[in-house]
Amino acid sequence: TSVFVSGATGFIAQQTISLLISKGYNVVGSVRSAAKGEKLQKLHGSKFQYEVVPVLEKQGAFDEALKKHPEVTVFLHTASPVTQSVEDNEKDILIPAIDGTKFVLESIQKTAPQIKRVVYTSSIVAVVPLSKISDPSFVASEDVFNPTTYEEGKANPHAAYFASKSLAEKAAWEFVKTNKPNFTLSTINPVYVLGPQAKDEEAKGDLNITAEVINAVYKLKKDDKIPETGGSFVDVRDVAKAHVLAFEKDEAQGKRLITYTERFNSQLILNIIRKNFPDLRERLPEGNPEDIGARTTATIDNSKSKEILGDDSISIEESVKAAVQQFIRVNA
């Protein structure tokens, strides 16, 4: 089987591609430039091919790439802006996410009717509204949709991200309902995705926003303040696994799958690093090791997803250990 992965350079996409290849799948990944494609080609080897699709938000953007690969029967749409530094919330976040998703599905229906499974990488922010993300009385489950509007999304990059993911996911379900394509849709709705890069080469320099969370703690100096980051965690390798199970398992068709393991904050990450890497203790601050309780986030009930995906997930401790071991390897 051959699987198309949009946004192949991404943190989640690369772990997904690595898992797919290890399971014997062939992968076609889309990237925004040939230079990015060549780099991935070297990292992932001969079972990986790339196609350049420079812009998401263009009707027919994926037509050419799909026509070249009639062997593809599964499409994983992971490409979407994950950034806070933009000039224009609409142009840089909302439009590529929402129109990009609609156009991709249109391209698949028109030019690749052999594709039977589509998985869209949505987010917990398509479930929980921005105003409830730190409210433990709000229960997030597979049946809940963030009602945020496009207008609200224009306010700032944070609101724009919440709106971009919710409205793109809704557009995807609407597309399937209205157009009755040959494919079934599943969505993966991850919380904060942390953990190691698929390839050590990618663990140098600037990392994707959420992969940077552990790196930011790892890089702290004795007198630095502990970052205030915290929330709900899932390891990137579990998110990759969910993408694969979403198209492999019949019972995942038509479902939203929330991936969530446990809560975390930067102090907990620091405690884990100090405990497991004694050599780093001298350089790192200690913070307040007890300060791991006040992690207020919406309550997550993903029991329906776990029935499909299984209940064995990677803990925050294992995730931090793997990421820090990788930072130590690449910085040696």
Structure-token pair, residue 242:
């969910």
- Minimum distance from CB of 249 to ligand NDP (Å)? 20
CA distance 146 to 148: 6
Give the E-state strand segments of 148-196 in sequence order: 184-190, 192-194
Residue 103: helix, strand or coil by DSSP?
Answer: helix
| Closer by beta carbon to ligand NDP, 36 or else 249 | 36
Which strand (E) or helix (H) includes residue 158? helix 157-179
**Residues 230, 221: Cα–Cα separation, whole Å:** 20
What is the radius of gyration, based on Cα positions, of the chain? Answer: 19
Q: Minimum Å distance from CB 82 to ligand NDP?
A: 4
Choice from 94, 115, 160, 193 touching ligand NDP (CB under 6 A): 193
154-173: contacts with ligand NDP (CB under 6 A): 165
Minimum CB–partner distance for residue 223 and ligand NDP (Å): 29
Choice from 79, 108, 144, 284 touching ligand NDP (CB under 6 A): 79
Interface characters, 247-286, with ligand NDP (x: CB under 6 A): ----------------------------------------
The two structure tokens encoding residue 189: 């709705």
Sheet order of strands, 117-121 included? 48-52, 26-31, 2-6, 72-77, 117-121, 184-190, 256-259
| CA gap 188, 184 in Å, rounded | 14
Q: Which is nearer to ligand NDP, 34 or 288 (CB)?
A: 34
Determine how many CB atoms are found less than 10 A away from the CB of residue 195: 29
* Interaction pattern, residues 37-66, with ligand NDP; x per rule: CB under 6 A: -------------------x----------
Q: Tokens 């990944």, residue?
A: 29
Determine the residue type at 19.
Answer: L
Calpha distance 184→88 (Å, rounded): 33
Annotate 223-267 with DSSP letters as a single string. Answer: TPPPP--EEEEEEHHHHHHHHHHHHH-GGGTT-EEEE--EEEEHH
Q: What are phi and psi of 192, to 5 degrees?
A: -45, 120
By beta-carbon proximity to ligand NDP, the closer residue of 263 and 284 is: 263
Give the nearest distance from C-beta 50 to ligand NDP in angstroms. 11
Which residue in the set 3, 12, 115, 320 belongs to the binding site for ligand NDP (CB under 6 A)? 12
18 near ligand NDP, rule: CB under 6 A: no
Select the residue interacting with ligand NDP from 187, 197, 210, 319 (CB under 6 A). 210
The answer to the question of residue 102 lying near ligand NDP (CB under 6 A) is no
Of 3-11, 137-145, 275-283, 320-328, the window that binds ligand NDP (rule: CB under 6 A) is 3-11
Q: Which two tokens stand for residue 263?
A: 């809560």
* Number of alpha helices (DSSP H) and beta strands (DSSP E) in the chain: 12, 12
Nearer to ligand NDP, 18 or 80 (CB): 80
Site membership for ligand NDP, residue 32 (CB under 6 A): yes
* Piece of 80-88, 176-184, 219-227, 265-273 that binds ligand NDP (CB under 6 A): 80-88
Residue for token pair 């703690």:
217
Q: How many residues bind ligand NDP (CB under 6 A)?
A: 23
- Rounded Cα–Cα distance for residues 141 and 304 (Å): 8
Residue of 4, 5, 10, 51 interacting with ligand NDP (CB under 6 A): 10
Residues within the interface to ligand NDP (CB under 6 A): 7, 9-13, 32, 36, 56, 78-82, 96, 121, 123, 165, 190, 192-193, 208, 210
